[in-house]
Amino acid sequence: MSAPDFAAALLAWYDAGHRALPWRDTRDPYAIWVSEVMLQQTRAETVIGYYQHFLKRFPSVSALADAPEQELLKAWEGLGYYSRARNLQKAAKRIVSEHGGSLPSDAHALAALPGIGPYTAGAVASMAFGQCTAAVDGNVERVIARVAGIREEVTVPSVRRAIRAHADALVPAERPGDFNNAMMELGARVCVPGTPDCEACPVRARCDAHREGDADALPVKRRARAPLVENRGVAIVRWGGRVLVQRRSERMLNGMWQFPNALNASQPDALLRALRLSAEWAGEAGEAKHVFTHRVWEMRLHKFIAQSPLEISECRWVDASGLDELPLPTAMRAAKKAAKDWLKEDITHA
Ligand code: SF4
């Protein structure tokens, strides 16, 4: 099967019934870019609602460039990997100042912008501007490793370059964007991790792994490191009808709001010491767990009653509606619920 035959077979399969996703109905480079950034670490079904809300809230590159950071993080709340949102805005500012507010059409110029890697650059260049370039994400990497019979570790840079070259060689001049979408769709629905459904595959006549019978062993990957488990105490500190929240300055979740928390301080005394707070313990508020890419937070939640409305830098006292207005990461969802439940109860201060 030649490259044109491969593309024809794949596009015919795609045209016969692909998933309807809103970003596939547009050629607007800004909308496609936003969708691709959201899709980097989040499932398509989850992205749909965020994508629609985000475009309504920030309808253009300049609206995004001018957005207050807290509003941007709020619109991103729940999607995780918040550096994506910040980079999106940094790139929007550069597009306004260096490209007159319009995304450049060339994949190299796109890849020079913050947060836009070769995959996103290829996706936007092909889908919005019809450029003949591949968009290689994890799905496409797997398909190419199998089709081309690449049996070396795919994270090795030279192997990655070889996969990229194979992918570029397959992209047709006609409908390159649809072709890239079709490759991703094939990887998501048919050429799945583990055992692929080769009988349903439109390109099996061109597939080396299918011929050799080792598709389930490809792509070859180094085993991922086990995530680091962190035990954390989380403090829900209350004064009257408000609770204490703190703006994070750490690299991870920077700019998001959280309940004060500390590593290896799951007991109330240790937690107060670590946070340098003086407050009265008012009971446990359960446990919670959040899995990040390389670490897991195992959290024990405690309620405290403050002895005064402390003034602490980067902290704020907020009521229940204030909790809804601030961008809080998903890791704080259980603590937020516990705080809101507690705020419905009356308390007396000593
Ligand atoms: Fe993947 Fe099987 Fe199709 Fe090859 S034939 S691309 S292994 S689904």
Active site residue 36: yes
Is residue 161 located within the same domain as residue 300?
no
Last residue of a domain, one of 182, 217, 252: 217
At residue 138, the 3 state secondary structure works out as helix
Is residue 65 located within the same domain as residue 213?
yes
CB-ligand 1 contact for 328 (6 Å cutoff): no
Whether 41 is in a domain gets the answer yes
CB-ligand 1 contact for 245 (6 Å cutoff): no
Please identify, by atom number, the ligand 1 atom nearest to the C-alpha of residue 207: 4
CB-ligand 1 contact for 148 (6 Å cutoff): no
* CATH assignment of the domain containing 261: 3.90.79.10
Substitution site in 141, 190, 195, 199 for ligand 1 pocket (most atoms within 8 Å of beta carbon): 190
Whether 222 is in a domain gets the answer no
Could you give the CA distance from residue 30 to residue 7 in angstroms, rounded to a whole number?
A: 27
Whether 287 is in a domain gets the answer yes
Average pLDDT over residues 284-310: 92
Is residue 250 located within the same domain as residue 132?
no
Q: How many domains does the chain have?
A: 2
Whether 348 is in a domain gets the answer no
Is residue 211 located within the same domain as residue 286?
no
Each residue's pLDDT tens digit, 2-42:
888 999 999 999 999 878 899 998 999 999 999 999 998 88
Is residue 39 located within the same domain as residue 172?
yes
Task: Tell me what pLDDT residue 144 has.
Answer: 97
* Backbone dihedral angles phi then psi of residue 7, each to the nearest 5 degrees: -65, -40
* CATH assignment of the domain containing 192: 1.10.340.30
Average pLDDT over residues 286-296: 91
Could you give the CA distance from residue 85 to residue 79 in angstroms, rounded to a whole number?
A: 10
Is residue 208 located within the same domain as residue 260?
no
Each residue's pLDDT tens digit, 86-96:
999 999 999 99
Counting residues of the chain whose pLDDT is more than 70, the rounded percentage is 99
Please identify, by atom number, the ligand 1 atom nearest to the C-alpha of residue 197: 8
Whether 225 is in a domain gets the answer no
Instruction: Calculate the alpha carbon distances from 190 to 2, 39, 41 in Å.
Output: 21, 19, 20
Domain containing 27 equals 3-217
Each residue's pLDDT tens digit, 250-276:
878 888 999 999 999 999 999 999 998
Could you give the CA distance from residue 44 to residue 38 in angstroms, rounded to a whole number?
A: 9
Whether 10 is in a domain gets the answer yes
Whether the pLDDT of residue 349 is over 80: the answer is no
Residue of 140, 144, 146, 141 whose CA lies nearest to 208: 146
Q: To the nearest whole number, what is the mean pLDDT of the chain? A: 93
At residue 73, the 3 state secondary structure works out as helix
d(CA 151, ligand 1 centre) in Å: 14
Q: Where are the alpha helices (DSSP H) in 3-67?
A: 3-15, 29-39, 44-57, 61-66
Last residue of a domain, one of 174, 196, 217: 217
d(CA 217, ligand 1 centre) in Å: 12
Cis peptide before 114 (omega within 30 of 0): no
Instruction: Calculate the alpha carbon distances from 75 to 49, 79, 325 in Å.
Output: 11, 9, 11
Average pLDDT over residues 96-106: 96
d(CA 231, ligand 1 centre) in Å: 42
Is residue 32 located within the same domain as residue 113?
yes
Whether 154 is in a domain gets the answer yes
Is residue 178 located within the same domain as residue 297?
no
d(CA 188, ligand 1 centre) in Å: 12
Could you give the CA distance from residue 167 to residue 187 in angstroms, rounded to a whole number?
A: 13
Is residue 245 located within the same domain as residue 143?
no
Whether the pLDDT of residue 324 is over 90: the answer is yes
Is residue 208 located within the same domain as residue 185?
yes
Is residue 80 located within the same domain as residue 159?
yes
Last residue of a domain, one of 217, 243, 270: 217
Helix axes 157-170, 3-15, angle to 10 degrees: 80
Is residue 168 located within the same domain as residue 241?
no
Whether 349 is in a domain gets the answer no
